[in-house]
């Protein structure tokens, strides 16, 4: 689900985005929430400021999340609303959240675009879809703050007051909870290996848990108090932030062993952070041969290169309007113009026993121009025999599509997994 589907009024603004604008979201970048005055900031890992949100309601903002189509979203305290931006930080629209009874907390987005918003003081999480409010998840406990939607569309929630982390299905079915001991969990994220990392509001330190709550490791930070944001990058490194309205704020970067890798000087009142998951992989055979739209069709890959997360989506854009197509996968690169096609096939299958290339042409996988996206399962690439992606593998992706009685291809992208 895209922002256009969540907020139909936003479609016209998003239609103006160029491929270059959409490509601003690069894996490893940070999206940072500043609480007051509310805004979102996009940083490179080296601290370079790429963009800030512009427009939208004033007041205090919580949460920083990236929507499935690459936009940004945060929640606003007064009036209680969700505020949406495109991938460049330009304001798109806002949507009232009247079900929120108290101060808002973090936001998280499911793969279908459903938005989860923590109603912090009311011990619940509200869910919103394309037509508005779709459900409430009660949380047995106190102050609900940080949220995480993992690669399996499970929801994790931090209860600061009761020192608990809760685990739910998207429909609110509880899957369990565990105590964090003496520290107050403010925010949570999941590492590529499936472990959970949380930051303590009361001590500013960072803690690692197995999903069953078994403590695994901790990292002492110089924050002392008011740790509020945490984000784990695809390479397993950890970013954490401290909230302060009067002292300088920093976002610190650690490896999983606790070694400090660097820091970013951040504005006062910095709160939640997210690691951006933008386009990944290395394009080749670019640009493709132009199709009847007059443009070369383009392939992009989004998600994480971590095999354990199984979080990859393929997108083809600038296809001829109304023409159908499907995605392809192969282990090797090549260049071949099939008979009857006006485009170049840029991948082959090179390992022993492999027959041809893989086609995502089953029910629910066929796309239609001008743009189409599907998630893929790294555990079952559609080859003969079927293949599971392993760390260290490089796989190549492309899209074939019909075009005025002939056919054509996008460019291709090579992705190395870890």
268 in the same domain as 297:
no
pLDDT at 36: 87
240 in the same domain as 289:
no
203 in the same domain as 335:
no
80 in the same domain as 39:
yes
List Cβ<8 Å contacts ≥24 apart for 80-83.
80/104, 81/57, 82/107, 82/115, 82/117, 82/128, 83/56, 83/57
360 in the same domain as 232:
no
Q: What distance, in Å, lies between the first and last C-alpha atoms of the chain?
A: 27
Final residue in a domain of this structure, among 258, 275, 292: 275
356 in the same domain as 374:
yes
Final residue in a domain of this structure, among 228, 260, 275: 275
Per-block average pLDDT, block size 10, for the chain (418 residues)? 32 28 62 91 91 87 82 85 88 88 85 88 90 90 89 90 95 96 94 89 95 96 90 89 80 95 90 77 88 94 79 90 95 89 86 70 92 92 90 93 95 87
104 in the same domain as 191:
yes
CA–CA distance, 259 with 252 (Å, rounded to integer)? 11
The CATH number covering residue 268 comes to 2.120.10.30
pLDDT at 282: 77
62 in the same domain as 28:
yes
CA–CA distance, 236 with 256 (Å, rounded to integer)? 7
Q: Residue 100, CB half-sphere, CA atoms under 13 Å: how many?
A: 26
Q: Which residue range(s) make up the domain with 259?
A: 3-275
pLDDT at 396: 94
352 in the same domain as 311:
yes
407 in the same domain as 391:
yes
Number of domains in the chain: 2
Residue of 298, 307, 306, 313 lying closest to 398 (CA atoms):
298
Final residue in a domain of this structure, among 235, 260, 275: 275
The CATH number covering residue 301 comes to 2.20.130
342 in the same domain as 264:
no
Distances (CA, A) of 75 to 107, 195, 265: 7, 27, 23
pLDDT in tens, 222-275: 988 889 999 998 778 999 998 887 766 789 999 999 999 999 998 888 888 998
130 in the same domain as 219:
yes
CA–CA distance, 322 with 413 (Å, rounded to integer)? 24
pLDDT in tens, 159-199: 999 999 999 999 999 999 999 999 999 999 988 778 999 99
Question: String of b and e for 302-339 (b: at least 16 CB within 10 Å)?
Answer: bbbbbbbbbbbebbbbbbbeebebbbbbbbebbeeeee
């Amino acid at each position: 689900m895209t922002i256009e589907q969540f907020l139909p009024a936003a479609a016209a603004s998003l239609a103006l985005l160029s491929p270059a604008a959409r490509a601003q979201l690069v894996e490893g970048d940070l999206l940072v929430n500043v609480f007051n005055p509310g805004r979102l900031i996009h940083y490179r890992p080296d601290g370079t400021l790429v963009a800030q949100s512009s427009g939208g309601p004033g007041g205090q903002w919580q949460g920083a999340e990236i929507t499935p189509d690459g936009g940004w979203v945060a929640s606003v305290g007064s009036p209680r609303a969700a505020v949406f931006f495109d991938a460049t930080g330009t304001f798109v629209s806002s949507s009232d959240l009247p079900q929120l009874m108290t101060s808002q907390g973090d936001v998280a987005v499911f793969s279908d675009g459903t938005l989860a918003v923590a109603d912090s003081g009311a011990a619940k999480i509200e869910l919103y879809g394309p037509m508005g409010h779709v459900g409430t998840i009660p949380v047995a406990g106190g102050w609900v703050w940080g949220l995480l939607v993992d690669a399996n569309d499970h929801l994790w929630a931090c209860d600061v007051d009761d020192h608990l982390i809760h685990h739910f299905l998207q429909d609110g079915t509880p899957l369990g909870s565990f105590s964090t001991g003496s520290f107050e969990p403010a925010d949570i994220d999941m590492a590529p290996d499936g472990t959970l990392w949380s930051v303590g509001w009361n001590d500013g330190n960072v803690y690692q848990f197995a999903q069953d709550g078994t403590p695994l490791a901790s990292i002492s930070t110089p924050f002392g108090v008011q740790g509020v944001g945490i984000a784990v990058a695809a390479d397993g490194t950890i970013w954490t932030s401290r909230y302060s309205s009067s002292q300088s704020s920093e976002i610190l970067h650690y490896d999983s062993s606790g070694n400090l890798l660097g820091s970013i000087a951040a504005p006062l009142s910095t709160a939640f952070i997210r690691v951006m998951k933008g386009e990944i992989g290395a394009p080749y055979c670019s640009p493709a041969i132009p199709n009847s739209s007059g443009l070369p069709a383009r392939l992009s890959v989004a998600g994480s290169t971590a095999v354990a997360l199984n979080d990859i989506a393929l997108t083809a854009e600038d296809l001829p309007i109304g023409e159908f197509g499907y995605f392809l996968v192969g282990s090797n690169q090549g260049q071949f113009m099939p008979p009857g096609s006006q485009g170049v096939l840029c991948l082959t299958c090179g390992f022993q026993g492999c027959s041809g290339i893989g086609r995502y042409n089953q029910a629910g996988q066929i796309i239609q121009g001008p743009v189409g996206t599907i998630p893929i399962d790294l555990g079952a690439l559609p080859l003969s025999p079927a293949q599971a992606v392993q760390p260290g593998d490089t796989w190549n992706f492309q899209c074939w599509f019909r075009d005025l009685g002939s056919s054509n291809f996008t460019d291709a992208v090579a992705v190395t997994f870890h």
